[in-house]
Chains A and B, each alone.
Chain A
Amino acid sequence: AQKVTQAQTEISVVEKEDVTLDCVYETRDTTYYLFWYKQPPSGELVFLIRRNSFDEQNEISGRYSWNFQKSTSSFNFTITASQVVDSAVYFCALSGRFRETSGSRLTFGEGTQLTVNP
């Protein structure tokens, strides 16, 4: 079975602080994909990044960066110089080949509510 754990339920920071959101996953698939989504109060899940299990190279996109470490089954997300607009719930998700049937599904973590205060 697949599982994603986001141990931080809520994080509150002051604007311009750096913040790291943790994500730990479990899977028996050898090929899998990891994602981060952002959910603002409006409810829509906004795609941020996708990583496949073969690519452990860290990625930076503006103020966002991601650290994928297969050895510790972690895929952490860092926001540098946080802004009020970053306030949202952030979800880490895992997708892998579903052994019993064709197709795949996303398994989500519980989400981390990030509040950035001015």
Chain B
Amino acid sequence: KAGVTQTPRYLIKTRGQQVTLSCSPISGHRSVSWYQQTPGQGLQFLFEYFSETQRNKGNFPGRFSGRQFSNSRSEMNVSTLELGDSALYLCASRTGEQETQYFGPGTRLLVL
């Protein structure tokens, strides 16, 4: 079974731009979660989607948003990028609540 895939793997943007990251979960997994990893803040939860509905949201500003499609693929969007948004963005999928989350390779975003 293929693992979680994320595209693109690397991205360079400038301040003020917006960016969309994509995540394809493991086949059969209906839950997708997003995490941000930075050297200063570590791994932080962004949001979780299940069956196209946002079920949980972390403590991030409204510039961070996401959605999930009927095939369980998910996208996250960051608008008006700031330098501090430079991070590794990790997507994880699982079959359901309380099940193990399996992570993708991440998207490394650099904001200049």
Q: Which of A's residues lie within 8 Å of B, judged by CB?
A: 33, 35, 37, 42-47, 50, 91, 95, 97-98, 101-111
- A47 x B100 contact (CB < 8 A): yes
- A108 x B42 contact (CB < 8 A): yes
- A43 x B88 contact (CB < 8 A): yes
Q: Which of B's residues lie within 8 Å of A, judged by CB?
A: 31, 33, 35, 42-43, 45, 48, 50, 55-56, 58, 88, 90, 92, 97-98, 100-106, 108
A110 CB → nearest B CB, Å: 5
Task: Output the nearest chain A residue to B105 by Cβ-Cβ distance.
Answer: A44
- B42 x A105 contact (CB < 8 A): no
- A95 x B98 contact (CB < 8 A): yes
- A45 x B90 contact (CB < 8 A): yes
Other-chain residue from B42, B48, B100, B106 in contact with A43 (beta carbon distance below 8 A): B106
Residues of A within 8 Å of B90, CB to CB, are 43-45
A1 CB → nearest B CB, Å: 11
Further 14 A-B residue pairs, CB within 8 A, beyond A43-B88, A103-B55: A35-B100, A42-B105, A43-B90, A43-B105, A43-B108, A45-B92, A45-B103, A50-B100, A91-B43, A97-B98, A105-B33, A106-B43, A108-B42, A111-B42
Main secondary structure on B side of the interface with A: strand
Other-chain residue from B43, B58, B97, B103 in contact with A102 (beta carbon distance below 8 A): B97
Other-chain residue from B45, B50, B100, B106 in contact with A105 (beta carbon distance below 8 A): B45
Residues of B within 8 Å of A43, CB to CB, are 88, 90, 105-106, 108
Give complex CA distance A35, B102 in Å. 11
Give complex CA distance A108, B35 in Å. 10
- B56 x A103 contact (CB < 8 A): yes
B24 CB → nearest A CB, Å: 14
A37 CB → nearest B CB, Å: 7
Task: Output the nearest chain B residue to A96 by Cβ-Cβ distance.
Answer: B98
Give complex CA distance A102, B48 in Å. 10
- A98 x B56 contact (CB < 8 A): yes
A33 CB → nearest B CB, Å: 7
B7 CB → nearest A CB, Å: 14
